[in-house]
Amino acid sequence: MSFTTQRNPARLDDETVLYEAVTALAREGYGRDVIEKALIAYAPVDLDLLADCYVRVLRDITREAASLAARVA
């Protein structure tokens, strides 16, 4: 008998991959609902990790906007 550690179906639970996906979709102008539906349609998503990614992405976008505003002023 053989056991594998691979889960079926595969989950989207790699923090870096999930963060990059959320960042890319947010930069394209997609909202949270669309991003969640797209990711969940692709694979099951670790929802706690997704929530953490939203916090990071929002923080990064806010910092970039503030930096741009400071340069323009």
Domain assignment present for 10: no
For 37-41, which contacts have Cβ atoms below 8 Å and span 24 or more sequence positions?
Answer: 39/12
Confirm whether 22 is domain-assigned. Answer: yes
In the chain, what percentage of residues exceed pLDDT 90? Answer: 66
Q: In the numeric block, which tokens belong to residue 4?
A: 């594998």
Distance CA 18, CA 28 (A): 16
Query: Does residue 8 carry a pLDDT above 80?
Result: no
44 lies in a domain? yes
Residue 42 located in a structural domain: yes
| Domain count along the chain | 1
Share of the chain above pLDDT 70, in %: 88
Give the mean pLDDT of 42-63.
93
Give domain status of residue 68, yes or no.
yes
> Has residue 2 been placed in a domain?
no
3 in a structural domain = no
> What domain range is 47 assigned to?
15-72
